[in-house]
Amino acid sequence: MPRTTPPHSGIKQPRVRLGLFSRSFLLLAGLMLVSLGAWLQVFFSMEEGPRATQMAQRVVTAVSITRSALIYAPPSVRPALLLDLATKESLRVQPREETDTLEPLPNSNYWNHVAAEIKDRLGIDTSVMWSVNQAQGVWVSFEINNDRYWLVFDREQLGLTAGAEWLGWGLTALLLALIGAAVSVRFVNRPLAQLAQVARQLARGQTPSPLPEKGPAEIRDMNIAFNRMARDIRQTEADREIMLAGISHDLRTPLARMRLEIEMSTVSDEARQAIDEDLAQIDHSIGQLMEYARPAGLVPEQGVDVSTVLRDLYERERSHTESLGDTLTQSIEPHLIAKINAHDLKRIVSNLIENARRYGRSPSDQKAHIELVAQQRGNMLAIEVRDQGTGIAATDVQRLLRPFSRGESARTGVSGAGLGLAIVERLLGQVGGQLELVSRPTGGLIARIEIPKVRSRNFQPESSSGRT
């Protein structure tokens, strides 16, 4: 089994990614906020001019009526008239003095427009002030028989709509817009969420729930096509299982007969040994092909105790390794939990250990010294198979990850079909894991797999044998 060397060996931290619902909602919400802001700006701009003209007309009318009433009213009823204007119309008439302390109107388009309209209708000498003698209001000057007066209006009567009121209406409109965006996005996102759910079921090897074949034409056509694809995949899986059973029977049975016939033949021991090695290489290649074609097991809903699975595997592999004259040691942290089929985990690590036994022999004594290490690193579980071999050039990385690709050392009589790393990567892809091969500074190679961990408090024990 060939080796590769990755460009880096650091542990990748998972990135937080927004889902489709969140992205669509934020996009629509942002567009609605911009649209609402632009609409309010246009509305204020269109409202400002007509309202300023309307308020100026109201001031001019009030000044004209007040002046006429004071001119034609008998002196005896003027106090009562002024009191009536102040209480019922919120209009106060006060004499204008030279010593009055004046504060001009705010420098805004609206109030400048109001003042210009008032002066245009009452005369250029008319004064419009924001306060007089620190008394608040809108003060407009007028004259009666050379006597000068102020007519005082409440600011609320002449100003634009209050900001608090507009804020309330704006927040209400924004809330309704956000609710509408959430409902719209959910309506579009729900079929996609259902599709993602059944796709995950299909990726885990489960039989997915049929998607509803109704709704909008595009969604209905997509669901119909996906349901048809799922049925075809299930049929393909069934056909592959039949094919694997046929390969096992139709190829390995003749190989067994050939071994028996060779043992009973009169050929020399050297020829018998050479033929037996060739048959063993054929049998090993068939085994790798069947291993690659075998589907991955179902991903468990709860976490699996990886530490226990690895210790069981270590005891089995250690005996086999020692029988070949090699060594296998372990350093496995306890309570490592991950969502991975226990049988698939054994297939992965067994392939890496077999790889180390075949290609990881030390140049000094031609023996494989292998170490199995399992530990937690951040949010990942790192499982490493270390050896002291010569490794392989980094330029062969991508080629050797492809099925049926073998390294140069594999051409010197070592059996195999070049499927070991492809099997490991395919099984890791089912659980969101990854494979890295790192050159050791002291010589040899580290085959590292990383699997997302599961919190121990969410762990419920499952059988270490796994489901196949």
In this predicted structure, what is the pLDDT of residue 348? Answer: 87
C-alpha span between 118 and 346 (Å, rounded): 91
- Residue 461 pLDDT: 53
- 21-163 matches 298-468 in fold: no
Domain boundaries, the chain: 21-163, 230-295, 298-468
Q: Of the ranges 59-63, 167-171, 406-410, which one carries the lowest mean pLDDT score? A: 406-410
End-to-end CA distance of the chain, in Å? 24
Our measurement of the distance from residue 411's CA atom to the centroid of its chain's CA atoms, rounded to an integer in Å, reads 45
What is the SS3 assignment for 148?
strand
**Cβ pair 456, 337 in contact under 8 A:** yes
User: How far is the C-alpha of 396 from the C-alpha of 391, rounded, in Å?
Assistant: 11
Give burial (CB, 10 Å; 0-12/13-18/19+) of 80.
Answer: exposed
Q: 350-364 burial, b if ≥16 CB within 10 A, otherwise e? A: bbbbbbbbbbbbbee
- What's the pLDDT tens digit per position in 182-223? 777 777 778 878 888 888 777 766 778 888 888 778 888 888
DSSP string covering 6-44: -S--PPPPPPP---HHHHHHHHHHHHHHHHHHHHHHHHH
Would the pTM of this model clear 0.85, i.e. be above it?
Answer: no
Cα separation of 141 and 436, whole Å? 87
- Predicted pLDDT at 307: 93
The Cα–Cα gap between 376 and 453 comes to 8
* Mean pLDDT value of segment 155-173: 69
Q: pLDDT band for position 372 (50/70/90)? A: very high
Structure tokens at 24: 């669509």
Backbone angles phi, psi at 22, to 5 degrees: -65, -45
Angle at 43 between CA 168 and CA 110, to 5 degrees: 95
Q: CA–CA separation, 241 vs 238, rounded Å?
A: 5
Chain-centre distance for alpha carbon 289: 37
Tell me the fold of 298-468: Heat Shock Protein 90 (3.30.565)
Q: Which fold has domain 21-163?
A: Beta-Lactamase (3.30.450)
Beta bridge partners of 437: 447
Alpha carbon distance 230, 70 (integer Å): 93
Q: What is the pLDDT of residues 267-291, one digit of tens each?
A: 777 777 788 777 777 776 676 666 6
